[in-house]
Amino acid sequence: MNARYDLYAPGDSWLHRLDPRVKLILSALAALLVLLWSSLLLLLIALILSHVLLALARYPHRLVSGVWRTLAPLLILIVLLWPLFDRRGEPVILALGPLTLTGEAFLRGLATASRIAALSFTLLLWLGTTDQRALVRSLVRLGVPVSLGMALTIGLRFIPIFASMFQTVSEAFQARGLDLPPGGLRRIRAMLPILVAALVTALRMSEQLGWTLAARGVGAPVRRTTLHDLRMQLVDWLVLATGLAIALSLLWLTLAEGLGRTLR
Amino acid sequence: MAGAAPVTALEEVTLEVAAGEVLGVTGSTGSGKSALCLAIAGLIPQETGGIIGGRVIVAGWDTRVTPVPQLATRVGLVFQDPESNLVGLSVEDEVAFGPENLGVPPPEIARRVDWALQVTGLARERRRPSAFLSGGQKQRLAIAAVLAMRPQILVLDEPTAQLDPVGKDEVMAAIDRLRQELGRQLTIVLVESDTELLSRFAERIVVLHTGRIALEGVPRAVFSRVEELTALGIRVPPLAALAAQLNHALGTRFSFLTTSEVKSALRPLLDRGGLAGPSTRSPVGRDVTHPRALARPGPYRASAGAFTSKHRESSPLLALETVCYHYDGHPPALEGVSLQIEAGELLALVGPNGSGKTTLAKHCNGLLRPRSGQVLVAGQDTRATPVAKLARTVAYAFQNPDHQLFLPSVWEELAYGPRNLGLRGQALQARVEDALARFGLADLRHRHPTLLGRGLRQLVAIAAVYAMAPRLLILDEPSGGLDGHAVSRLMTILEEFATDGRSVLLITHHLDLVAAHASRVVLIHEGQILAEGPTRDILMDETLLKQGGIRAPTIPRVARELARYGIPPALTVSELAEAITARLAASSGHSDPLPEGDLT
């Protein structure tokens, strides 16, 4: 019940072992390229490539299809609605009063949907194979303050706990005869006691957590050390160099030569 | 100590703990056990605020002036709630977290992590996220995490209170290993309300009461003062209670801390066939041949039977028919569960954590609806009836009282449920007053529930659902935060409730309570009902319990060990004490009656 919030799949593949900073930089560049491109072909290649990489990293199919399911409504809406509002281009497939459907608009819709999908899966390459701790650590190493990083780690952990607590509180109130109307303002008003009880519990929990942190030495006036400090290995440098070379050439081609800037 | 109501948590406590000692601390709710832990770690007064008089010196450091992170290098503190003990990293990172904050060099951290994980038996879980661990594993991880800071003192504040018996055993085994490995290098302060556990582990016991030390001494001495402990609201370990009853009946001076002590103390007597001389106390006559002398059926068992037969023809209060349920994307939590609850039953639902107890209970009031099969509450199908309507018939008290308290006074809290059911004016007033009186909360009616101590919050939460006067009352681990006094008050209320023709579904790990009060037991294991039947049949079947993943309660186990001396199976302390005295009296050739064993 507690794992669904998380895209991270524990593992030991090459992608998991890659330094999180390298993953962050390369996926950011890839995301930039995907955002710049309009070419359906290039976007589809990017989408397929991201899936190949995920498969090579043995990222579970279950989570991949989970992401697809989450994206599906949005993607379908884009593909269906885009042609209705974009009347540019040829060939005209249908012209019915104010309604004009063109083949190009249809492809454009498809390309936009692919761009969103490719963007999501590019980021999934980074988020799905980097555990929260490494993620936060890489941000800290790239300049985010330690305290902020720690707050982020703890905050992320408590989201599912608070969610399940809210659920339990809500059940406890229904068991005491609280009638939750199906929707609207009345429901929000009815949920007030649930919010109060959840808040009190959350405060109690965070008080304890504060004690735990103090008792675990947070705030000691010494320079913090790290068990597994991030250290770039040879393979990390190689991947970074190769990745940067490819991404920057593509970026140059895109910006200077107009690679992939048009639909076809 | 902090908060709106100024409370004195500890008062003039003078306590010295020697290096390397294992000190057990117990006390009723509000006795100051947790405050003591916080004070040792310096969290009182540094993090909590409040006023502290006197001094706490930990390994030479004054806790009022030594910063908590520095104290943490000498004192390791583990809390009761597994969730609030962990920062939420992977197992390895969690253990490394403390030393990292203290600036320990990485190679040394690695050594400490290896050691701490090995001693707590978590080496194989190293790379797993801590969120995926079981309760027992989480608590062991919390211990490993403070051990990695190399403390000289380990303070454990009810580390097993929220665990099932298996988790409890895991944690205690880890502590045992730690003692073997570190010996006198580590001082342990273990706060527990499970006195049976304390009696096995501690070298010295301190009993706190309203912030003062009430009793102090070696376990044998403290736990033989059964009457004083009971008066202080402490649950007496079953074997200590057995010794006291035997001593009272036979004039002996037994004191038992372990099962083997019982055996070695009684074996010579039972072998020889009785006490050397006549009992020093004059026994009260009782007919040995009368089966009731051993069977001791409580009134509730009898009434449950009566109700069962009387209502057999009509439809049951609650009926589950081949209920299956699974949470999204998870294996089945319930598989083909069929169960009926009749009016007047006090039914106990037992099984290890994760076996489906709570899932089953949530089906009883429609919070969960079966994926297949059906649940009928007083004839209404839960799939077609809103939870709020089912609440008229079934009330449910959740495990954590904080999940349901939100009103500014205890009175309002108790009135909330009945008001939702439409009660107003005089009727409402009467209903709330009755519940307040029964639960002994009348003096607290104007107090703010969330500012009460954990035990009282628990009682308020239970009283609040009791006040709805349901026909079925479901209680999920109600005894968790309660002391001896509160538990016996609650159990009396529940028994009266059942005699009144209403039913109780009690979910608990506390098998002694089940043995003493339940009329029927349902044992659930991996989402299926493994067995159900009269309490006696289930709790005395050791093989069955083992199969169901729970440990047999102490008394039936001891009775079985004594079986070869002609001691019949026994479920409760009084029963066993009676059986032993009867056996001794019979074989020592007393023609006259056997000693009175009933001292409860």
B49-83 pLDDT, tens digit each: 777 788 889 888 998 889 988 898 999 999 988 88
What are B413's two structure tokens? 């809290």
Q: Return the residue matching tokens 């041949």.
A: B289
Interface test with B, best of A135, A137, A208, A216 (most B CBs within 10 A): A216
Strand, helix or coil at B498?
helix
Is B68 within 8 Å of A214 when comparing Cβ atoms? yes
What are A75's two structure tokens? 């993607």
Tell me how close the Cα of A55 comes to any Cα of chain B, in angstroms: 22
Three-state secondary structure string covering B521-575: EEEEECCEEEEEEEHHHHHCCHHHHHHCCCCCCHHHHHHHHCHHHCCCCCCCHHH
Q: Of A213-217, B1-5, B430-434, B561-565, where does mean pLDDT reach its minimum?
A: B1-5
Cβ(B215)–Cβ(B228) under 8 Å?
Answer: yes
What pLDDT band is residue B505 in, cutting at 50, 70 and 90?
A: very high
pLDDT at residue number B303 = 37
* Residues of B in Cβ contact (< 8 Å) with A211: 38, 43, 47, 77, 79, 84
Q: Which amino acid is at B249?
A: A
Residue in B129, B327, B388 closest to A174 by CB = B388
Is A220 within 8 Å of B367 when comparing Cβ atoms? no
Is A227 within 8 Å of B386 when comparing Cβ atoms? no
Question: What average pLDDT score do residues B354-378 get?
Answer: 93
Q: Which helix (H) or strand (E) holds B413?
A: helix B410-420
Residue B431 or residue B287, greater confidence = B431
Is A211 within 8 Å of B43 when comparing Cβ atoms? yes
| Overall residue count recorded for chain B in this entry | 600
Residue in B85, B100, B406 closest to A193 by CB = B406
Which residue from B88, B87, B84, B48 is spatially nearest to B64, judged by alpha carbons? B48
Quote the mean pLDDT of chain B: 86
pLDDT at residue number B6 = 54
Cα distance between residue B318 and residue B343, in whole Å? 9
Tens of pLDDT along chain A (264 residues) come to: 333 456 888 888 889 999 999 999 999 999 999 999 999 999 999 999 999 999 999 999 888 998 999 899 899 999 888 888 877 777 787 777 777 788 888 888 999 999 999 999 999 999 889 877 788 888 888 888 878 888 887 887 777 788 888 888 999 888 888 888 877 788 888 888 888 888 888 888 888 888 888 889 888 888 888 888 788 889 999 999 999 999 999 999 999 988 888 887
Is A177 within 8 Å of B47 when comparing Cβ atoms? no
What are B477's two structure tokens? 């681990």
The proportion of chain B whose per-residue pLDDT surpasses 90, expressed as a percent, equals 57
State the helix-helix crossing angle for B554-561 and B573-587, rounded to 10 degrees: 20
pLDDT at residue number B599 = 40
Q: Return the residue matching tokens 């039913």.
A: B503
pLDDT at residue number A45 = 94
pLDDT at residue number B91 = 92
Cα distance between residue B127 and residue B107, in whole Å? 18
Q: Of A64-68, B11-15, B114-118, where does mean pLDDT reach its minimum?
A: B11-15
Give every strand in the sheet of B394-397, ordered side by side: B394-397, B472-476, B503-507, B346-350, B520-525, B528-534
Q: Return the residue matching tokens 């309760």.
A: B135
Highest averaged pLDDT of the listed ranges A218-227, B91-100, B267-276: B91-100
pTM for this predicted structure: 0.79
Question: What average pLDDT score do residues B117-126 get?
Answer: 92
Is B101 within 8 Å of A133 when comparing Cβ atoms? no
Beta pairing class for B334-341 and B380-381: unpaired
Does the pLDDT at position B221 exceed 50?
yes
Q: What is the ipTM of this complex?
A: 0.78
pLDDT at residue number B161 = 84
Is A227 within 8 Å of B129 when comparing Cβ atoms? no
Does the pLDDT at position B480 exceed 80?
no
| Overall residue count recorded for chain A in this entry | 264
> What are the start-end ranges of the H helices in B183-326?
195-201, 219-223, 226-231, 238-250, 259-272, 292-295, 299-310
Strands (E), B384-464: 394-397
* Residues of B in Cβ contact (< 8 Å) with A212: 79, 84-87
Is A212 within 8 Å of B127 when comparing Cβ atoms? no
pLDDT at residue number B321 = 94
**Which residue of chain B has the CA closest to A151?**
B87
**Which residue of chain A has the CA closest to B98?**
A216
* Residues of B in Cβ contact (< 8 Å) with A163: none
Residue in B83, B99, B110 closest to A205 by CB = B83
Residue in B86, B106, B450 closest to A227 by CB = B106
Residue in B47, B97, B394 closest to A210 by CB = B47
Cβ(B448)–Cβ(B456) under 8 Å?
Answer: no
Residue in A133, A169, A216 closest to B101 by CB = A216
Cα distance between residue B511 and residue B541, in whole Å? 13
pLDDT at residue number B589 = 57
* Residues of A in Cβ contact (< 8 Å) with B75: 215
The DSSP symbol for B367 reads S
pLDDT at residue number B12 = 79
Tell me how close the Cα of B358 comes to any Cα of chain A, in angstroms: 12
Is A196 within 8 Å of B406 when comparing Cβ atoms? yes
Cα distance between residue A248 and residue A239, in whole Å? 14
Does the pLDDT at position B339 exceed 90?
yes
pLDDT at residue number B280 = 40
Residue B290 or residue B489, greater confidence = B489
* Residues of B in Cβ contact (< 8 Å) with A158: 88
What pLDDT band is residue B500 in, cutting at 50, 70 and 90?
A: very high
The DSSP symbol for B485 reads H
Dihedral, CA of residue B100, residue B103, residue B104 and residue B110, to nearest 10: 30
The proportion of chain B whose per-residue pLDDT surpasses 70, expressed as a percent, equals 90
Interface test with A, best of B44, B66, B68 (most A CBs within 10 A): B68
Cα distance between residue A130 and residue A138, in whole Å? 10
**Which residue of chain A has the CA closest to B78?**
A212
Tell me how close the Cα of B449 comes to any Cα of chain A, in angstroms: 11
* Residues of A in Cβ contact (< 8 Å) with B81: 205, 208
Q: Which amino acid is at B143?
A: I
Tell me how close the Cα of A229 comes to any Cα of chain B, in angstroms: 8
pLDDT at residue number B314 = 65
Tell me how close the Cα of A76 comes to any Cα of chain B, in angstroms: 25
Tell me how close the Cα of B454 comes to any Cα of chain A, in angstroms: 11
Question: B405: phi > 0 → left, psi -120 to 50 → alpha, else beta; which?
Answer: beta
Residue A206 or residue B350, greater confidence = B350
Tell me how close the Cα of B161 comes to any Cα of chain A, in angstroms: 16
Tell me how close the Cα of A188 comes to any Cα of chain B, in angstroms: 16
Strand, helix or coil at B370?
coil
pLDDT in tens, B510-566: 898 999 999 999 999 999 999 999 999 999 998 999 999 888 888 999 999 998 888
Size of interface A-B (CB pairs under 8 A): 189
**Which residue of chain B has the CA closest to A203?**
B402
What pLDDT band is residue B292 in, cutting at 50, 70 and 90?
A: very low
Question: B373: phi > 0 → left, psi -120 to 50 → alpha, else beta; which?
Answer: left
Residue in A156, A210, A217 closest to B101 by CB = A217
Interface test with B, best of A17, A130, A186, A211 (most B CBs within 10 A): A211
pLDDT at residue number B273 = 59
pLDDT at residue number A228 = 80
Residue in B87, B129, B421 closest to A10 by CB = B129
* Residues of B in Cβ contact (< 8 Å) with A214: 43, 46-47, 68-69, 72
What pLDDT band is residue B573 in, cutting at 50, 70 and 90?
A: very high
